[in-house]
């Protein structure tokens, strides 16, 4: 049997054209990114349930409790990184205890399945601060001095109490109220306080 080279060349050309057409006809599948993966700023964790309507108890991880206001959207993040976007329907705050009613969570059983899930927001979400309000992170490290010029030291931590916050300093606790805090100088990062004798330990 004789196979002419011309026939072989034609078959090769036909095969190349067929492969080329197949490649051109392939549809590119777009790579979709999950936008909720960018919601990485954790503001709390679900630690329990409340009542019979599916409300959940929250352990806050933010000092700005206004983030839990009704109407705000939060991303629920499971221990396995599953993400669900929900809206806060209702919020009850007593001291540092936060109870939320979330959209789509309407029973005790549904709420119990969310225990251990975290609440996250987008890091670009700007907090709504009223005049005179600021974040705890803003005052950490600021130097505290008394009205008569004695240096107390830096703010190491801020403790939350039902009555008011407390600035933790190397010399003791200072109530973060207008009665004691007379001035906060953001530019020089100094806090001027007027404290009674015996409140701080001077050594």
Domains of the chain: 35-121 (2.40.30.60), 136-193 (2.30.30.240)
Return the bridge partners of 175, or none. Answer: 166
Lowest-confidence segment of 15-29, 73-87, 154-168 by average pLDDT: 15-29
pLDDT-based confidence at residue 186 (cuts at 50, 70, 90): confident
Residue 176 has pLDDT above 80, yes or no: yes
pLDDT interval class at 195 (50, 70, 90): very high
Average pLDDT across the chain, whole number: 82
Considering the chain, what percentage of its residues have pLDDT values greater than 70? 78
- Does the pLDDT at position 102 exceed 80? yes
- The pLDDT confidence band at residue 18, using thresholds 50, 70 and 90, is low
Residue-wise pLDDT for 58-93, tens only, equals 998 887 787 898 999 999 999 998 999 999 999 998
Three-class SS of residue 110? Answer: helix
Q: What's the CA gap between 137 and 158, in Å, rounded?
A: 9
Global pTM value: 0.52
CA distance 160 to 1: 95
Of the pLDDT bands very low, low, confident and very high (cuts 50, 70, 90), residue 3 is very low
């Amino acid at each position: 049997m004789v196979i002419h080279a011309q026939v072989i060349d034609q078959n090769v050309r036909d095969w190349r054209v067929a492969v080329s057409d197949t490649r051109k006809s392939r549809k590119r599948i777009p790579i979709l990114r999950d936008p909720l993966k960018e919601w990485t700023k954790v503001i709390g964790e679900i630690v329990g349930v409340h009542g019979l309507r599916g409300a959940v108890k929250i352990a806050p991880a933010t000092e700005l409790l206004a983030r839990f206001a009704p109407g705000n959207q939060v991303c629920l993040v499971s221990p396995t990184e599953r993400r669900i976007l929900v809206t806060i329907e209702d919020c009850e705050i007593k001291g540092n205890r936060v109870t939320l009613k979330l959209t789509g969570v309407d029973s005790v059983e549904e709420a119990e399945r969310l225990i251990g899930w975290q609440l996250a927001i987008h890091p670009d979400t700007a907090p709504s601060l009223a005049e005179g309000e600021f974040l705890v992170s803003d005052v950490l490290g600021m130097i505290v001095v008394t009205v008569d010029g004695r240096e107390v030291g830096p703010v190491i931590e801020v403790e939350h109490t039902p009555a008011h916050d407390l600035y933790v300093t190397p010399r003791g606790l200072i109530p973060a109220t207008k009665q004691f805090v007379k001035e906060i100088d953001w530019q020089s990062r100094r806090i001027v306080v007027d404290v009674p004798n015996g409140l701080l330990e001077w050594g």
